[in-house]
Amino acid sequence: MQMSGEELINAPRAKVWDALNDPEILRQSIPGCQSVEKVSDTEFTATVKVKVGPVSANFKGNVTLSNIDAPNGYTITGEGKGGAAGFGKGSADISLTDSDDGTLLSYDANASVGGKMAQIGSRLIDGTAKKLAGEFFANFNDLVSSGESTASASPEDTPIEAAAESAAIESVPESSTPKSDTPPAAEKAPSPDWMRPGILIPLGILAAIILFYLAGG
């Protein structure tokens, strides 16, 4: 499965980078997000509640950044697992450039799926991936351009859903993956030095949303 495109963020790149280092803005932007955890300067995990048709689970994604060219771009490689609901893995090349109207983010992703998710059908998964990526960018754009954060909603109040195809698939219970006890706000404050690899981690979260939903629903 392949997906590529560009998204214009209506804010200067400096402001976009600040927002990408704000865990609360990221958490509010990601549909169904339960937690985001930094593992190292080039690795992080995210837990997202996913429902595609009758298939429902808590997916946990592990993401690694490579080919880092700060602040221009990098390659992201990841894998998402949701127990019996399925799994996904893939990679994406990401670039961030200045634009007259703000900041342009470009992406080129490749991914594959397995398990129950693969049985749903590529058309539904592809449509869901595009829909969820669109929701993320819309949420993020609103928050960054307004400079305000919105009241958070619980994952149960914002399920990720898509209509099932003709073939019926048995519902899958959510995995027992626990929520992180560490609130996003507890993460270290971002450094003003753009050349540090650690500052790419929040931007990696944004890229992971595109990759994660291509790979896992």
We report the CATH number of the domain holding residue 168 as 3.30.530.20
Q: Is the pTM of this model over 0.75?
A: no
Closest CA to 21 of 216, 196, 142, 211: 196
Give the up-direction half-sphere exposure of residue 51: CA atoms within 13 A in the CB hemisphere.
14
Q: Count of domains in the chain?
A: 1
- Compute how many other C-beta atoms are within 10 angstroms of the C-beta atom of residue 139: 17
Q: Is residue 89 part of a domain?
A: yes
Q: Is residue 39 part of a domain?
A: yes
Q: What is the pLDDT along the chain (217 residues), one digit of tens a residue?
A: 677 788 898 988 777 766 765 667 777 888 888 877 777 767 777 787 776 666 676 777 787 878 877 767 778 887 777 666 666 777 888 787 899 999 898 888 776 666 766 676 667 766 776 777 788 889 989 999 887 654 444 444 444 443 333 223 333 344 444 444 544 444 444 433 333 333 344 444 444 554 544 444 4
Domain that holds residue 94: 2-176+192-216
